[in-house]
């Protein structure tokens, strides 16, 4: 869920910072977590085929995550002046977050073209991991 009331498609597993935001909104069995607190989202599928329909559904899932926008006045933002101090108040703190998108499945295809940052797939007792070049730079630095 973002600061403007938009929601993503259902996420199988969300890695979020509970201290960053203790606010989790519940509606029945559904939980809504503010996007500002989410570090990674994981979509899991068992055996899957690489059809156009499957690729379109996965692209749509990734887009629903990418389209969530953080708000500068969100309750989960760092309070201005605490992080940098009053002397450096002109510098802004973190203004946006985007979770890492991970896809896990059993099968040969990697589905990177669907918009995932990392794909994990198991083939014949072997784990294959593929990284989007941009996320690798982000994770280890330039």
Task: Look at residue 47 and tell me if it is in a domain.
Answer: yes
Task: Look at residue 8 and tell me if it is in a domain.
Answer: no
Task: Look at residue 7 and tell me if it is in a domain.
Answer: no
pLDDT band at 32 (very low <50, low <70, confident <90, very high): confident
Q: What is the gyration radius of the CA atoms in the chain, in angstroms?
A: 17
pTM beyond 0.85, yes or no: no
Number of separate domains in the chain: 1
Task: Look at residue 30 and tell me if it is in a domain.
Answer: yes
H or E stretch covering 119 = strand 118-123
Task: Look at residue 97 and tell me if it is in a domain.
Answer: yes
End-to-end CA distance of the chain: 30
Task: Look at residue 79 and tell me if it is in a domain.
Answer: yes
CB 8 within 8 Å of CB 65: yes
Q: What is the mean pLDDT of residues 133-138?
A: 70
Range of the domain at 115: 13-140
Task: Look at residue 2 and tell me if it is in a domain.
Answer: no
- Check whether 41 has a pLDDT greater than 90: yes
Task: Look at residue 102 and tell me if it is in a domain.
Answer: yes
Q: How many CB atoms lie within 10 A of CB 93?
A: 13
Kindly write down the DSSP assignment for every residue of 51-64, as one continuous string. Answer: -HHHHHHHHHHHHH
The whole-number pLDDT of residue 30 equals 79
Percent of the chain with pLDDT over 90: 32
Q: Which of 28-32, 114-118, 135-139 has the lowest mean pLDDT?
A: 135-139
H or E stretch covering 65 = helix 52-66
Phi and psi angles of residue 106, each rounded to the nearest 5 degrees, phi first: -105, 125
- Check whether 134 has a pLDDT greater than 80: no
Which of residues 68 and 85 earns the better pLDDT score? 68
At CB < 8 A and 24+ separation, what contacts does 87-95 make?
Answer: 95/70
- Check whether 102 has a pLDDT greater than 60: yes
The whole-number pLDDT of residue 73 equals 63
Q: What is the mean pLDDT of residues 110-129?
A: 89
The whole-number pLDDT of residue 23 equals 63
Average pLDDT across the chain, whole number: 80
Strand order in the sheet with 118-123: 13-16, 38-47, 100-106, 118-123, 126-131
């Amino acid at each position: 869920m973002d600061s403007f009331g938009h929601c993503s498609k259902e996420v199988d597993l969300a890695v979020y910072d509970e201290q960053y935001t203790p606010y989790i909104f519940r509606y029945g069995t559904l939980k809504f977590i503010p996007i500002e607190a989410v570090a990674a989202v994981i979509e899991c599928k068992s055996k899957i085929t690489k059809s156009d329909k499957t690729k379109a559904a996965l692209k749509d899932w990734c887009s629903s995550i990418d389209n969530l926008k953080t708000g500068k006045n969100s309750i989960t933002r760092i309070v201005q002046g605490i992080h940098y101090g009053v002397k450096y108040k002109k510098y802004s703190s973190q203004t946006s977050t985007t979770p890492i998108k991970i896809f896990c499945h059993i099968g040969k295809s990697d589905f990177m073209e669907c918009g995932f940052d990392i794909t994990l797939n198991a083939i014949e007792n072997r784990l294959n991991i593929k990284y989007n070049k941009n996320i690798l730079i982000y994770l280890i630095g330039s």
